[in-house]
Amino acid sequence: MDKTEVSTHGAARDAELLEAMTHRYAQPLTLYARSSTLARIEDADALMKSFWAQQLARPLMINEWRESGLALRRWLVHQLLIHARARLCELHIDSSEQEQCNDCGGCACANAATTSTTSATTCATKCPTSSTPLPLEPHAFEHFERAWSRAMMNAACSIAQAALESSDDAAAWNAFRLHFLEGNEYAALSQQLGLTVSAARINARRAHERVDGALRQLLRDEGVADEDVNDELAWLIEVSKR
């Protein structure tokens, strides 16, 4: 593979990642915005619309994420908090309790989301351009991670289902779906599928291995180091059950 082919392949992977990112993270990030004090800045849907427009307009966004060393979900939340702080300034939202720039390199807007947002002053003129994000809100982040884990599970299941069906192994997917996703006992689903209990269990486990492999690859694609994949996978599964 020559340099041109490598470059084309890399661009294609980045395009696929961007598409997956906007699809997989749309609902989790919106949920963070809606369940946090970011909702006091502006409507969550409007905030997310401007956020994605800004992110997708940056040609080096993927490179910036990779260079950050952060897992994709943490980097995107960080970027959302930076964007939300900028929106506070753009909308001239100021706090009646804090009117002067603080010593964090930004202005009172950095804390305005947690205080009064009723007065509009000359905040924008007091806000230097800064990469300082608003504080992470743990309760909203828990909502985000639950939605993220389910989106990852759905993506992994779709990948596994497509792979199994394309290799004429739909029986494995059906057994997995009926047992792991719909909660049927093997005795019941084996009759439904016309299989022995042992065969149904083997089929379901074969599909489970596919889903597990797809989840691991998705985590790697999102910047999780190989040595951390097991821990991240365990965390993802735990969060998805909450």
Tell me the one-letter amino acid at 228.
D
pLDDT exceeds 50 at position 124: no
Which has more confidence, 89 or 198?
198
pLDDT of residue 8: 53
Asked whether residue 133 is assigned to any structural domain, the reply reads no
Write down how long the chain is.
242
153 and 229 part of one domain: yes
pLDDT digits (tens, 9 = 90+) for 147-187: 999 999 999 999 999 999 999 999 999 999 999 999 999 99
pLDDT exceeds 60 at position 128: no
pLDDT of residue 112: 45
Residue 242's pLDDT band, with cuts at 50, 70 and 90, is: confident
Look at residues 25, 139, 149, 142 and name the one whose alpha carbon lies nearest to residue 80. 25
> Stretch 125-145: mean pLDDT, rounded?
79
Asked whether residue 54 is assigned to any structural domain, the reply reads yes
12 and 92 part of one domain: yes
Task: State which residues form the domain around 34.
Answer: 3-126
**What angle do the packed helices 186-193 and 197-221 form, to 10 degrees?**
100
104 and 174 part of one domain: no
Asked whether residue 93 is assigned to any structural domain, the reply reads yes
151 and 235 part of one domain: yes
pLDDT digits (tens, 9 = 90+) for 200-213: 999 999 999 999 99
Of 126, 154, 183, the domain-final residue: 126
Please answer whether residues 126 and 219 qualify as being in contact, where contact means their C-beta atoms are separated by less than 8 angstroms.
no
Query: What CA dihedral angle connects 167, 173, 174 and 175, to 10 degrees?
Result: 120
119 and 19 part of one domain: yes
Domain total for the chain? 2
pLDDT digits (tens, 9 = 90+) for 79-118: 999 999 988 888 754 443 344 444 334 444 444 444 433 3
Asked whether residue 106 is assigned to any structural domain, the reply reads yes
d(CA 223, CA 84): 24
Average per-residue pLDDT in the chain? 83
Residue 127's pLDDT band, with cuts at 50, 70 and 90, is: low
pLDDT of residue 131: 61
16 and 112 part of one domain: yes
Which has more confidence, 138 or 91?
138
Asked whether residue 131 is assigned to any structural domain, the reply reads no
pLDDT of residue 114: 45
Look at residues 172, 152, 154 and name the one whose alpha carbon lies nearest to residue 163. 172
Please answer whether residues 76 and 25 qualify as being in contact, where contact means their C-beta atoms are separated by less than 8 angstroms.
yes
Please answer whether residues 122 and 92 qualify as being in contact, where contact means their C-beta atoms are separated by less than 8 angstroms.
yes
pLDDT exceeds 80 at position 2: no
* Secondary structure of the chain in HEC code, one letter for each residue: CCHHHHHHHHHHHHHHHHHHHHHHHHHHHHHHHHHCHHHHCCCHHHHHHHHHHHHHCCCCHHHHHHHHCCCHHHHHHHHHHHHHHHHHHHCCEECCCCCCCCCCCCCCHHHHCCCCCCEECCHHHHCCCCCCCCCCCHHHHHHHHHHHHHHHHHHHHHHHHHHHHHCCCHHHHHHHHHHHHCCCCHHHHHHHHCCCHHHHHHHHHHHHHHHHHHHHHHHHHCCCCHHHHHHHHHHHHHHHCC
pLDDT of residue 38: 94
How far is it between the farthest Cα atoms of the chain?
A: 73
